[in-house]
Structure 1
């Protein structure tokens, strides 16, 4: 099943590189051993040359000189081998960081996801032909993509009026739901070190171009805009050792996601479905290995509760191997039915990354009753509590009314100024 997953490295080339590293290292050990032997021999001949007869001194001195000359030749060879080893190890490390995580035994086989559950919402728009959110915008004026394209380029947007209030309400609602269940609320940086993003497993898949926006600075480590709050949330635990009694640790973070490639063609490039920047509420947890599978189910349950309370029609998918990102051991997606688009659209996902990120970020825990190891690697998990633009699409298309208004889900109304029940045409 691992063969079905995209792996950006050639295993044969990787094996050859690993063997080359081993050969150079063994040669280097041999050369160092020979140099040490010559150094000891030169020292021995030095002692003999000071305590022997004149003829013996001359012989010892000549032997010592030969040993020194041979040691100098070995020194140059050792330096070259050290440089070769450093280069090969750098290549090997770069290749190693691109190897994806292992795959859970229950991940679906084949090319298609398995539908675990389908939840039907509260919409009642089957008595008329529903409009897509781009057409609805002509009536409601909740976004301005034309002016945004002039100041930032295509696939950027202004949210305004009801659209702006919907975004703020969705963020507040998702944060509130998670915090009430014991999650620590965090506002994350939108700029991180590129090395952190790479350590979290964010590399382009086959056929994809670079997804991350790089930030040009004098910083030698490099900076980039975050593609998801998962990255800075993982970085919050960088190089930490956590007592086992303090695990699991649950976080809910709000940040902005930046994606260079909006992707897709036709309808997916219109409106809010695929954009270069969007707001996102992210779940993140650090656990022991024994806790991570239960935490994945906890994330899924919380996400399901959020979308059920919003009244959406959605389904939960167990994703196949080729749909797993580099860090994911297992992944669930949630797709909402979008009546205006007449298709399902992804609104959320959640992944168990096991120790894949923790090893790269050195996130460890100290067992309460250690055996042989004083510290062990944690497991990390992530999940989308609210991908704001897509949920806005789902709300607008699901709860539109024949008169062009849109019913606002009841759970959001308290977060909107004036607590209106509907978005109405301007």
Structure 2
């Protein structure tokens, strides 16, 4: 949720953000008008209520005609106060409804454009020049006895799968390596619930433009999360944190669920775009003035994981129109996929500034003891999709796959070999 006070002081900032996102710019003027009407209605209500109290006190001391006049005025004021209060509440609801439709302010420096306009910040590592025709991750996974999509579809439908044998070992090893790195960096480990209340899902910004992606259990009115960002963002909802204790850094391990609505026909082979996967997610509450630097730290931790896995990748700055509702700035790391001849997203880290904290009422006390809204950030540290890049980049001509050295203690193999 955006800051209405900041909007009043610098409305052009929001206009520019809306324009960069490709969103409706006129909503800014509509919101300013509604906000002005609401504040005027509140002033009127307070003025009438003050007069009502004053008249009430005067009635007891008055006599005769004066008392009758005051009683008549008191009766009239009672109706006017109720009407003014109802108008202020109605306008307040309209302001609240409108402000919740507005995405976060884009951070200065974020690229303009949409999904096809990413800015490549750097490349790391060089894709191998293979002297054989590479197999894709699904073929490799089937040779290794690691991935079974046929039985996944039989049991659960399209875009489901089993990770079997070394496939399960590979995912558990990958996620445990990520957890170890996070713990060494001072994160608190968390295994959060994967079902959340509507106010938590909405508070993180996932029930707006992303609502079609979310599974909803109507009988229980609960939502399956698509990332542990959601329950971790709700963990301190309604709380006032100690400023001295910031930042709070959490590392969450959870199963994640996405409907993949609108992705019909895209990445249907293998485990690139699926309905259920596991993920280790970093989540941070910090002081707003420290959010930008914290964002860069999250990116560096993501890069460290990719380096450990010896994957060629690039870092991209996501354009404003592709940021999503809550993010003010987002960086992705994209790993090279040999059989596709392109880089594909494997990590994403977002600076959500105080946008989610305002919706979830997460605050801290400043040096003067006043409550202020915190900033929240998130970033992927490992997920099931990484198996795609691991298998394809480390494959050998005979269908075996070399396990990166950093991952071997967690997987228990140096080389994954095809089943006999």
- The TM-score, its normalising length taken from structure 2, stands at 0.85
Structure-2 change in CA distance of 1:125 and 1:395 (3 Å): farther
Q: Which residue of 2 aligns with 1:18?
A: 35
Paired positions, count = 401
- Per the alignment, in what secondary structure is the counterpart of residue 269 of structure 1? coil
Within a 5 Å distance, the mapping from 1:212-231 to structure 2 comes to 212-217=214-219, 222-231=221-230
Does the residue aligned with 1:280 lie in a helix, a strand or coil? strand
Of the three residues 106, 110, 113, the one matched with 2:118 is: 113
Distance (whole Å) between structure 2 residues aligned to residue 394 and residue 8 of structure 1 = 38
1:384 maps onto 2:362 in alignment: no
Shift of 1:70: 5.3
What is the match of residue 198 of structure 1? 202
**Alpha-carbon distance in 2 for matches of 1:253, 1:130:** 34
3-state SS in 2 of match to 1:266: coil
Q: Secondary structure at the match of 2:315?
A: strand
Unpaired segments ≥5 residues, structure 1: 50-58
State the secondary structure of the residue aligned to 2:254: strand
Deviation at residue 18 of structure 1 after TM alignment: 2.5
User: Which residue of structure 2 aligns with residue 53 of structure 1?
Assistant: none
- Please name the residue that 1:281 is paired with: 280
| Equivalent position SS for 1:332 | strand
34-43 vs 178-187, greater mean Cα deviation: 34-43
Who is 2:309 aligned against? 310
Please give the alpha-carbon distance, in whole angstroms, between the structure 2 residues aligned to 1:78 and 1:187: 50
SS of alignment partner, residue 395 of structure 1:
helix
Equivalent runs, 1:117-132 vs 2, <5 Å: 117-120=122-125, 124=128, 126-132=130-136
Contact 2:288 2:374 in 1 (8 A): yes
- Change in Cα spacing, 1:275 to 1:160, as seen in structure 2 (3 Å) is same
Specify the SS of the correspondent of 2:171.
Answer: helix
1:424 lines up with 2:393 in the alignment: no
**Is the 8 Å Cα contact of residues 248 and 285 (structure 2) preserved in structure 1?**
yes
* Paired position in structure 2 for 1:343: 342
Contact 1:140–1:423 at 8 Å: present in 2 too?
Answer: yes
Helix, strand or coil: the match of 1:337?
strand
For 2:145 and 2:255, locate their aligned partners in 1 and report how far apart those are by CA, in whole Å.
23
Shift of 1:270: 2.5
TM-score scaled to structure 1, two decimals? 0.84
- Give the conservation status (yes or no) of the 8 Å contact 2:326–2:355: yes
Q: Using the alignment, how far apart are the partners of 2:39 and 2:240 within structure 1?
A: 32
Cα–Cα, structure 1 residues 209 and 127, in superposed 2: closer, same or farther, change >3 Å? same
1:361-400 superposed Cα distances (whole Å, 9 cap, x missing partner): 3333345xx2x44443332221110122x10111122122
Considering only aligned residues, what root-mean-square deviation do their CA atoms show, in Å?
Answer: 2.7
Task: Tell me the distance in 2 between the aligned counterparts of 1:262 and 1:155.
Answer: 12
CA distance in 2, matches of 1:8, 1:94: 15
**Contact 1:404 1:425 (8 Å CA) reproduced:** no
Structure 1 CA distance, aligned partners of 2:194 and 2:312?
31
Residue 211 (structure 1) aligned to one of 207, 210, 213: 213
